[in-house]
Amino acid sequence: VALGEAFQLTNILRDVGEDIQLRNRVYIPGSQLTQFGVAPEDILKMSTGEVPISDAYRRLIASELERNLARYEVAEQGIPMLPWITQFPVRVALELYREIAMSVRSRNGYDNLTQRAFVGKWSKIGLLPGIAVRAAIASWQA
């Protein structure tokens, strides 16, 4: 369950700008928007460049990102419980999606309204050796 939640939260964080502009929807919980003082109308204005991205919005996304990364940590604990044959591909998916989430902060500076978070091809390839090592260690410890 945690992995599905983590993937969904990553998709939500990655697509905020696209969702507000194309669908007029914000999938971040209303309670979080209220807590940080960010209205959907503000998000639309920020996504079109009408107003700059606010510090309140950046704090909101930072908070949502931390919640998202915590779900990945919980999900990672469950990988050794999966059948051995499925552990590596699940770990690859987990780590690639987690990198997408982290790129919201590292590559975009919490600007997921005018820039889409992604992990480039070479970065993905660079992640694979570490993923393979962690998968091997986890399977030996199980």
> Per-residue confidence of the chain (142 residues) as pLDDT tens digits?
999 999 999 999 999 999 999 999 999 999 999 999 999 999 999 999 999 999 999 999 999 999 999 999 999 999 989 998 898 899 999 999 999 999 999 888 999 999 988 888 988 888 888 888 877 777 777 6
CA distances from 115 to 16, 99, 109 (A): 10, 15, 10
Which segments of 1-142 does DSSP mark as H helices, in order?
2-14, 16-18, 30-36, 40-47, 55-78, 84-106, 121-141
In this prediction, residue 91 carries a pLDDT of 93
In this prediction, residue 129 carries a pLDDT of 87
According to CATH, the superfamily of the domain at 2-141 is: Farnesyl Diphosphate Synthase (1.10.600.10)
Burial of 40 (0-12, 13-18, 19+ CB in 10 A): middle
d(CA 72, CA 7) in angstroms, rounded, equals: 8
Domain ranges of the chain: 2-141
* Threshold 0.75, pTM exceeds: yes
In this prediction, residue 71 carries a pLDDT of 98
Burial of 54 (0-12, 13-18, 19+ CB in 10 A): middle
Q: What angle do CA 74, 77, 80 make, to 5 degrees?
A: 150
In this prediction, residue 142 carries a pLDDT of 62
In this prediction, residue 99 carries a pLDDT of 94
- The CB density around residue 86, as the number of other CB atoms within 10 Å, is 10
N- to C-terminal Cα separation, the chain: 21
